[in-house]
Structures are given as C-alpha cells and as structure tokens.
Structure 1
Amino acid sequence: MRLMIYSHDGFGLGNILRMLAICTHLLDSIGELSILVVSGSPMLHSFRLPKRLDYIKLPCLNRGISGKFSAKYLGIAVDETVKLRSELILSAIANFKPDIFLVDKKPYGIRDELKATIEYLKAKLPETPIILLLRDILDHPDITVKEWRKHGYYEAIDKFYERVLVLGTPEIFNICHEYQMPPKVANKVQFCGYIRKELGRKKPNLVLNELQLSPEEKLILVSPGGGEDGYRLIDTYLSSLALLPATYQLRSLIICGPEMPLIEQAALQHKAALYPSVQIGEFTDDLMSYIAAADALVTMGGYNTTCEILSVGKPAVVVPRHKPSQEQWIRAEQLAKRGVLKAIHPDNLTPESLLRSLLEQLDTPQSQISHPAIDLNGLPNISQYIKTLITNKKGVVPSRQSHQSSNKLRDLAILKQV
C-alpha cells in the first residue's frame, strides 16, 4: 500500500518533525506500507529516515512575521515558486498513484497549490481517500474562521476529504466549536490526542556525564525550536543569568536551532562566552535525550515542544510566539491554567520575568507540579485509522498492475487540462 503525504513547511521545524514521527510510527506498525513525503522543508535531509520512506523536496517558501509568503532561496517571484511546487506535487501524485493521500493543515495547500492535485485525484483516482491532518490549534478563532470562509476550506472538506484527524483533545481546544465548523464538516473530525515523544538515544546519566555536571548543578535546557525567530528568547535568558542569586548553581545548555541566522548565532555565542556555565550549539537530532536529562526547560511554545513537555513532565517556562499566528500563545495559556507550565507573553518578556518564572519552577517540588491526564495517544490512534482504511481498501482497490497499464497518453492529457 502507498501513502503520500503533503507537508508544506512554511516556517520552522515543527511540521516536518511531527510528520516524520507519524511516518515512523506508521511504518513500524504497518508492514506493507510505503510512504512518499512531498515537502518544502530545508531540513528534511538532516534527519534519520526510516526504511520504506522517501521524499520529494519542493522549493522552499518562507512565511515571515507578517504572515506573507516568499521564496526562501530561489530568486524568483512567489507565484512562480508556487506554480512550480504545484506542478511537482501533481506529477508525483500521477506517477506514484497513492492509495491514501494525507494533507497537512491546509485543505488546498499553501496558496491553493494543492487544488490541481485534489481535482486530479477526484477525477482519476476517486478510490484514493484524502485525509486532512490538523494540529490542535491553528490560530485565533476569529482569524481562522475568516480564512477558512475566504478560501472555501469548509466546502473543500465537505466535498473532497474523508476524515479530519486532529492532533489534540477537545478539552484543551475544541476546533469544531471554536472554528464554527458546519455539522457536515464537524462529523468528519476525529480527535486523536497529542503525540507522545519517544525517549532519546542517550540515558540522562550519560548526558550529564558528557556535560560534566557536578551533583550540585541544575541543568537548564534552552531551545527555541527551529530558531528562525528565537534570538530574543536566548538573548533574554543570557541577560537573566547576570541576575541569578549566588545560591543557585545552574548549568545552561542552549540549542539555537538550525534556522537561526548565522549573524544572530554569532552574537549569542559571543554573549554566552561571558558565562562559563553556558554551553551553546546549533542543532541536535536527539533533543529528547537532553530534555530528559534537564531539570527545567526554557522554550518557545510550538506543538512539538509542548508534546515534549507533556511527555517528560519536566518544569518548563514557555515564551510562545504570538505572530503571525496566535496558536502558540493560546496553547500555552490553556496549559498554564492547568498548571502544566509557566507561560510568559512575549510582550512581558524581560530578564527579570524570565528568571523569576524559572526559579519558581525549580523551587516547586516535583510532587506539586500538575500532571493532568492529557491524551498522548496521537500516534497509535492515527495508525489505527490508517490500518482500518487499508483493510477496507484491500477488497476494492484495483490492482497496482492495472493502474500501471493504463493509457499514459490519456494521463498526460489530463495533467495538461488540470
């Protein structure tokens, strides 16, 4: 069976990390599955990819703080880049002929780049179900409802999509209610729970030994995710160390993120050199090993980071991004109300507020930190749904041989028409 995944990746590492976790779990649990990922992530090649997974790299788009898209590397207009991406996706669909098509976040893709592909599937591969995958929160309801109405997303789900899988729980954020989904769309929604993060490759004791921590020191891990807009968080954290009372012995491990501009990395490394207890690096593909070893976390509030916090139950101070999307702030605020973490709005971020929140987390006994029952079964629930689809399709899907023997000239003509 063939699964094709569209992951647009307009900003940061979150989308591709989440999608790779899903792919790995699917391949581990469904032996007959092969997966082709179509992605614009500039970092996909940096990760260990499981067997039976391959990818097509799309030209990168970048979404700045304003929310507008531009070509990240190519010196061409965004419309040309989107057209190129759209044609690559359509060609991949026509040749790979997936049994299932999984779309991340946007029903028609970035700037409608999936429209031609979805219309092709409807006309030529109507037996291929199209599944929409959404994280728990997209943006503030006012913004999301306006965008979905403007782009016809409700109608697209009703017409083309078989199911909407949500990586969250209605207790934290009920997208059906918050995003005013019509009954026909809401009936397709299945809440799968958050993604439980697997432990890293190194045990905590090994990490602590590598970092040469003394028994008296507390390890603070500081990570802004991909890092493209993480400079302020790390800079503020470094400034807060000058205010640290002498009674606290902290060792800080800072991971800037591979998408932080080099000039900003250099400035932070220069500032970090003032503090012998600080180690700073760019990237690790085994972040969970360091999270598990840390005594507390200072992070931004992306979906993956939240899942890491929920999975390990470590004290955390989260300074979420609030532009161009308010998704991170809404999530952090909801979890802060439940006592899971400390949240600081970016407008209120200062060295004083950051240090105060961090020390409060360190001084709170582990037994007093709230660990509410939050569903972390996102991966097995998605896997079970895909297994069910495969089981249902096995008796009705035409043989692969019959697909391949179809008239290629006819397919080319249809591609040109679409």
Structure 2
Amino acid sequence: MDTWSPSRPEASPLLRRSERAPRVVLVSHDGFGLGHARRNSRIAAAVRALAPSADVTLVTGLASRHAWLGADGVRVVRVPAVTKDATGRYVTRSGDLAGTLRERARVFARVVEEVRPDVLLVDRHPLGIEGELRPAVAAARRGGATVLLGLRDILDTPAAVRAEIEGPDWSGAGRWVDEVLVYGSPSLCDHVAEYGLPVRPVYCGIVTAPVAPPRPLAPATGGTVLVTAGGGGDGDVLTSVLEAVAATPRYERVVVVRGPAAGWSVPDRVEVVAPRDDCTALYAEASASVQMVGYNSVYEAVVSGLRPLLVPRRAPRREQAIRAGRLACLGLADVLDPGAGPDEVSWLLDRPRLQTGWDLARSGLDVDGAARVAARVLAHAGAATAPARVAVR
C-alpha cells in the first residue's frame, strides 16, 4: 500500500506562491446525480468569497444547466458524462466507455495546461473513475500544484471502500495526492478507522448551505410536507412512501420536487414542483420533509431546521442507508423503510418534525465545511484571504 506523505516541499500550506491571484481547479465526475458538482460549486463560491481575485475553474460531467453552476465568477468546463448502471458499473450514453474516458482525459489535461493551477482539488476518485485523471494530475504536480482529494462524509460499507482503496483505481494515489479533505466529521465516520485510509485526513465539516435562523414550532395541523429525491433518477424508491404521505391528513399540502431525471408517477392530492436549481428555500418553508439521503439534500434539510424522514437507497451502494442510520442516532432524523405503510408514516409525521439550533449543536455535526475547505485550499495556494466569515449559498 502507498505511504501517503507529500513528496515535495511545495506541498506545504505555509509556502506562499507569487503575489498573483491564486488559481484553483476543482474536478468532479458527475454524470447522473448532482452531488459532486453541487459540493464543488459551494466550495468554489467560498473560495471566491474569501479571495475575490481567485481564478476558479470547475470541471464536471454534469450536462444539465443550473444557476448555481458557474455562479460567483467560476469558470465551468464540461467533460463527457459517465454514469453508473443498476449494478454499479460505469457506462456512457454513447456506449463507448473507452472513447469517453480518453476524451475526458484530454479535457482534464488541457484545463491543467491552460490554467496552470496552484491547487487541484479532485472529488472522490483520486485519479479518475478509470485512471483518466492521471495525465492531468501528473501535469499539475510538474507545474508545482498541490493536489488535494475531497471525500464526502460516508462513501460505502467499510469492506467496499477498503477494497477500492487497495485496488487498481487508487494505485499510486499516495504519490500524487498531497492531502485528503473529508467533507464530514470523524464523529459521523472515521475514514482511517473504518475505511483504512492510509493517511490522516483533515476533517472540514459538512459542505452545505448556511444554518437557517431558528423557526417557531409547527402548529398541530396544517403546513407543508416536502418530498424530494435529489436528481430523481432513482426516486422510485419513494413511490410507496409517497402514497402513504398523501393519505395522511396531518398536513394541508404535500409537495413533490421532481428532479430532472425523475420518471416516477405521483398520487392524487400531491402537488408537483418542477426541478429547482436550489431547494433550500423550499426546505425553509416546509413543516416536514420526506426524502432520500443524498449528501446535499439531507444536509440542506437539516440546516434549514427540519428533522427529515429519510428513505435511503440501498443499492448499488449502501452509502445512503449508513448515512440515514447515523443521522438518526445523532437525533437529527428518522428513517423509513421504502415499503412503509400509511399508519407508520402517519405516526412519524405526527411527531415534532422541526429541530432547533441546539439540537444541531448537541449532535456535534460541523456544518461549516464550505468555508473550511475554501480556507484550506487558499492556504495551499499561499493566498491572503478576507477576514470576514463566509456565507455560502
């Protein structure tokens, strides 16, 4: 196994670059869900807030257009999308995975050549999903860039992640990556103890929207229950639960946000809202939420003051099920089985579905991750930053 330690003095965050504006490239492999690009977009906005002159480029396979993607003066470069099928195998729309990976490798390398970044931040896969990032990472290192790897709070079962780290997709990563940033807290998941990560990472906290002001307690009846499934491509796991939610008289309105990839039907009494670039305002107005357990949406609900009812996907990875169980243990959520009936759903919806800032603080979950990651990135770039606290969308 690689020993993960910086091999160059340039990797030190205390080493200042030239006085020019810092240059940062963020890479995410999105092709199906919105999660990677959404996190990187929040980090990019936080970098620009701390260092307004920073040159920030975000590379993504996300084909859909969103107002938050490319906001705050961030340059967006798109690569061909790579998605996963039901078995977890990577596929492409064209059917030519090898050709798509070659094109992705070419674009990644071109971006590094043109931008000449001080910092390259790679999300989730240190060398790409099939090694297509190796040429770009090598070029970035030759140019003096610091290479950072960002990992979300929970990846999968410990056995699955350990096998991945010890497998060919991570081979040599220890010689290329200078530091690992975890977008979570060790109290939620210790990446060394559980995953065997061969380096002690920096835990930066959850990358999400700012914590909303406390809300008054919900009335005994009325209000809105919001149902969300992220991008929507696997939202059919909510079908049975949604019928149960629609049948309960507890709330005046049941509102479903259909993601851009949603193809599932909804029952009567349910209002359908078109896909939104940002659901934080909807969470802030809702009295309760029933949702899947993708990283971004679940933490947007929590920081808005909700105690969500979580319906996790359990395949091809158990990431959502693990996250749901641990958030429930922290007292921040409740978990529903996809087959839950009206009585079970109604009982949970009758419980208090709002929480206070004290509930969040007591859980020990750090939700200031965007600003912390941005500060770390700019420290590696040797950049002076604005002293004000960052508030990221």
> For this structure pair, what is the TM-score category when the shorter chain's length is used for normalisation?
0.7 to 0.9
- Aligned-residue offset at 1:178: 0.5
Is the alpha carbon distance of 1:381 and 1:368 closer, same or farther for their aligned partners in structure 2, counting shifts above 3 Å? closer
- Distance in 2, matches of 1:357 and 1:238, equals 14
Number of the residue aligned with 1:337? 329
Would you say the 8 A contact 2:130–2:169 is kept in 1? no
Number of the residue aligned with 1:400? none
Is the alpha carbon distance of 1:167 and 1:241 closer, same or farther for their aligned partners in structure 2, counting shifts above 3 Å? closer
Secondary structure at the residue paired with 2:350? helix
Would you say the 8 A contact 2:224–2:254 is kept in 1? yes
Alignment of 1:75-86 (within 5 A): 75-86=94-105
Is the alpha carbon distance of 1:296 and 1:77 closer, same or farther for their aligned partners in structure 2, counting shifts above 3 Å? same
Secondary structure at the residue paired with 2:151? strand
Number of the residue aligned with 2:181? 165
- Distance in 2, matches of 1:104 and 1:301, equals 19
- Aligned-residue offset at 1:118: 1.8
| Residues 134-182 of structure 1 deviation map (CA, whole Å, 9 limit, x = unaligned) | 10111101001011111262741x2111110101110111011101123
- Aligned-residue offset at 1:238: 3.7
Query: With CA pairs under 8 Å and 6+ residues apart, which has the higher RCO, 1 or 2?
Result: 2
- Aligned-residue offset at 1:260: 1.3
Higher helix proportion (structure 1 or 2)? 1
Secondary structure at the residue paired with 2:32? coil
State percent identity of aligned pairs.
26
Would you say the 8 A contact 2:248–2:342 is kept in 1? no
Of residues 175, 180, 191 in structure 1, which corresponds to 2:196? Answer: 180
TM score, norm. by length of structure 1: 0.79
Would you say the 8 A contact 2:311–2:337 is kept in 1? yes
Number of the residue aligned with 2:120? 101
Kindly indicate whether residue 320 of structure 2 is the aligned counterpart of residue 328 of structure 1: yes
Number of the residue aligned with 1:153? 170
Of residues 249, 254, 257 in structure 2, which corresponds to 1:255? Answer: 257
- Structure 2 residues not aligned, in runs of 5+: 1-21, 385-393
Number of the residue aligned with 1:2? 23
- Aligned-residue offset at 1:358: 2.5
Moved over 6 A (4+): 364-370
- Distance in 1, matches of 2:130 and 2:171, equals 16
- Distance in 1, matches of 2:237 and 2:155, equals 23
Kindly indicate whether residue 371 of structure 2 is the aligned counterpart of residue 380 of structure 1: yes
Would you say the 8 A contact 1:317–1:344 is kept in 2? yes
Is the alpha carbon distance of 1:285 and 1:152 closer, same or farther for their aligned partners in structure 2, counting shifts above 3 Å? closer
Counterpart amino acid of residue 210 in structure 2: E
Of residues 137, 140, 152 in structure 2, which corresponds to 1:118? Answer: 137
- Structure 1 residues not aligned, in runs of 5+: 206-213, 394-418
Would you say the 8 A contact 2:120–2:140 is kept in 1? no
Kindly indicate whether residue 210 of structure 2 is the aligned counterpart of residue 198 of structure 1: yes
| Residues 285-307 of structure 1 deviation map (CA, whole Å, 9 limit, x = unaligned) | 23111101111110100111222
Counterpart amino acid of residue 145 in structure 1: R
Is the alpha carbon distance of 1:365 and 1:197 closer, same or farther for their aligned partners in structure 2, counting shifts above 3 Å? closer
Alignment of 1:357-368 (within 5 A): 357-362=348-353
Of residues 45, 48, 51 in structure 2, which corresponds to 1:27? Answer: 48
Kindly indicate whether residue 306 of structure 2 is the aligned counterpart of residue 314 of structure 1: yes
Would you say the 8 A contact 1:104–1:134 is kept in 2? yes
Secondary structure at the residue paired with 1:110? coil
Secondary structure at the residue paired with 1:355? helix
Deviates more, 1:326-335 or 1:380-389: 380-389
Kindly indicate whether residue 243 of structure 2 is the aligned counterpart of residue 239 of structure 1: yes
Is the alpha carbon distance of 1:367 and 1:8 closer, same or farther for their aligned partners in structure 2, counting shifts above 3 Å? closer
- Aligned-residue offset at 1:96: 1.8
Number of the residue aligned with 1:226? 231
Larger radius of gyration: 1
- Aligned-residue offset at 1:119: 2.4
Would you say the 8 A contact 1:145–1:180 is kept in 2? yes
- Distance in 1, matches of 2:355 and 2:168, equals 49
- Distance in 1, matches of 2:351 and 2:159, equals 34
Deviates more, 1:135-144 or 1:216-225: 216-225
Of residues 269, 274, 284 in structure 2, which corresponds to 1:292? Answer: 284
Of residues 152, 158, 166 in structure 2, which corresponds to 1:135? Answer: 152
- Aligned-residue offset at 1:314: 1.0
- Aligned-residue offset at 1:15: 1.2
- Distance in 2, matches of 1:106 and 1:118, equals 12
What is the aligned residue count?
359
TM score, norm. by length of structure 2: 0.84
